Amino acid sequence: MRVEHLTVEGFRNLSGVDLPLGRRFVVVSGDNAQGKTNLVGAIYLLATLKPLRGHRTRDLIGWEADRAVVSAGVSHDDFVRQYRIELEGSKRTLTLDSSAVRDLEPYFRGIRAVSFTPSDAQIVTSEPKIRRAWLDRAAFTARPSHLYIVRRYARLLEQKSAALRTHSSGAVLDVFDEQLAVAGADLITRRLDILDELAGPVAQVHDRVAGQPEQLVMRYRTRVQGDDTAARADSMRQLLGDSRADEVRRQRTLVGPHLDDVRMELDAHAARSFGSQGQVRSIVLALKLGELLAAHERGDQPLFLFDDVSSELDASRTGRLVELLSEVDAQVFATTTDPSQLRAFPAADTCQLRVSGGSVVATDV
Ligand SMILES: Nc1ncnc2c1ncn2[C@@H]1O[C@H](COP(=O)(O)OP(=O)(O)OP(=O)(O)O)[C@@H](O)[C@H]1O
Ligand SMILES: [Mg+2]
């Protein structure tokens, strides 16, 4: 898939952006605080309906604007579709080829993105919640229906929490536990599947970018046992039953995939505790490029949004990155304060954009 054309209006400091793109590589350069991250953030919003970093959706609307609009012509299988998102107050309006979007699955089938930003180091170094979110996002990018699995489980958890807080009867809690066991086992199976799919490509990219022979291994950590979904549901039923008294006292669900983690190890040592900054960067790059490679093996080509190449990579890693990116079909957006760093992208297949004070112009035409 490829963004052929992009317009942005009233999105953070960007307005009047109207760009033909189309090429494989898009280099977005400019000084600090000009709007580079905002430009990839606009594309990320269109592809995922989420802000790129921890921003609240309403903070995405420009201070001087009533509404933010991002729209793009995205080609997929030789066929261009028009994606558009509009934010106004707390309201979000989505259209696909000028029709209101009711079902998100077909929408997400035609536009997907993998992002890599400096704050992604947190995936390795921060608390388990961030790793669960990373894994669920990767599963969602691979199979958009994952969104519904995550939402269903989260809704059940919330309902059960309310039941625990209001001292509902054991029979009511039994009903929630049964539903949680089924939904939770399903979620765990899907997370294990995506982790399995990513393991090979991530290790392969890590070998190539790290420049050192450490082996990266990812392990899903859960108290729920079992080799298939049915066995995992049984295990969850058992664990939930055993925890009932504790749960009633603490008014929280104490078992399930909302508490799981992914342990990342370099040569059997936990990267979270022992990884150096450089090692952490290599792992995160491997996670993100591995996702792209896995997508490539599946026959998908999500957009790759790489924010702030300059702060993330030295020259030799940038070289290896460009080499790797040339092997997958994904369209790549890379922001940098120093475009000479990305000279290795083939000129004939690269759009050069310059961002200044919220305006964006193509400099290679
Ligand atoms: N809602 C908003 N309305 C208007 N301007 C905003 C809004 N939110 C952020 N900005 C401004 O957008 C500017 C550009 O931000 P952005 O993060 O895209 O810069 P950048 O080019 O990526 O810079 P850097 O190289 O430092 O990462 C910032 O100066 C910020 O004040
Ligand atoms: Mg930035």
Domains and CATH numbers, the chain: 1-112+300-365 (3.40.50.300), 121-295 (1.20.1050.90)
* pLDDT-based confidence at residue 300 (cuts at 50, 70, 90): very high
User: Which of 43-52, 207-216, 234-243 comes out lowest in average pLDDT?
Assistant: 207-216
Q: What is the mean pLDDT of residues 240-251?
A: 97
- Ligand having the closest approach to the CA of 51: 1
CA torsion angle 340 318 25 347 (round to 10): 50
Reported in sequence order, the residue ranges of 117-244 that DSSP labels E, i.e. its strands, are 216-221
Q: How far is CA 250 from CA 241, 243, 245, 256, 260, in A?
A: 15, 10, 9, 15, 19
Residues making up the chain, counted from first to last: 365
Higher pLDDT pick, 315 / 86: 86
pLDDT at position 165 = 96
Which residue(s) pair with 61 in the sheet? 11
Residue of the nearest CA to atom 24 in ligand 1? 32
Q: Residue 257 has which token pair? A: 């995939």
Instruction: Evaluate the CA torsion angle 41, 42, 48, 50 in order and state its sign.
Output: positive
Q: Residue 161 region, left (φ>0) first, then alpha (ψ -120 to 50), else beta?
A: alpha
194-237 tens-digit pLDDT: 999 999 999 999 998 887 788 999 999 999 999 999 999 999 99
286-299 tens-digit pLDDT: 999 999 999 999 99
C-beta of 33 in contact with ligand 1 (< 6 A): yes
Measuring CA to CA, which residue among 29, 86, 99 is closest to residue 356?
Answer: 29
pLDDT at position 365 = 56
C-beta of 59 in contact with ligand 1 (< 6 A): yes
Q: Which residues lie near ion ligand 2 (Cβ < 5 Å)? A: 37
pTM here?
0.94
252-284 tens-digit pLDDT: 999 999 999 999 999 999 999 999 988 998 999
C-beta of 354 in contact with ligand 1 (< 6 A): no
Give the ligand 1 atom nearest the CA of 61. 1
Can you tell me the distance from the alpha carbon of 219 to that of 265, in angstroms, rounded to the nearest whole number? 8
How many other C-beta atoms lie within 10 A of the C-beta of residue 171?
7
The amino acid at residue 340 is S
What's CA 15's distance to the chain center, in Å?
A: 25
* pLDDT-based confidence at residue 79 (cuts at 50, 70, 90): very high
Q: What is the DSSP letter of 214?
A: P
282 CA distance to ligand 2 middle (Å): 20
Calculate Rg over the CA atoms of the chain: 22
Q: Which of 11, 13, 28 best tests ligand 1's pocket when mutated (most atoms within 8 Å of CB)? A: 13
144-161 tens-digit pLDDT: 999 999 999 999 999 999
319-362 tens-digit pLDDT: 888 888 888 889 999 999 999 888 888 899 999 999 999 999 99
285 CA distance to ligand 1 middle (Å): 24
pLDDT at position 7 = 98
Is the predicted pLDDT of residue 78 greater than 90, yes or no? no
* pLDDT-based confidence at residue 56 (cuts at 50, 70, 90): confident
Residue of the nearest CA to atom 27 in ligand 1? 32
C-beta of 364 in contact with ligand 1 (< 6 A): no
C-beta of 38 in contact with ligand 1 (< 6 A): yes
Mean pLDDT of the chain: 94
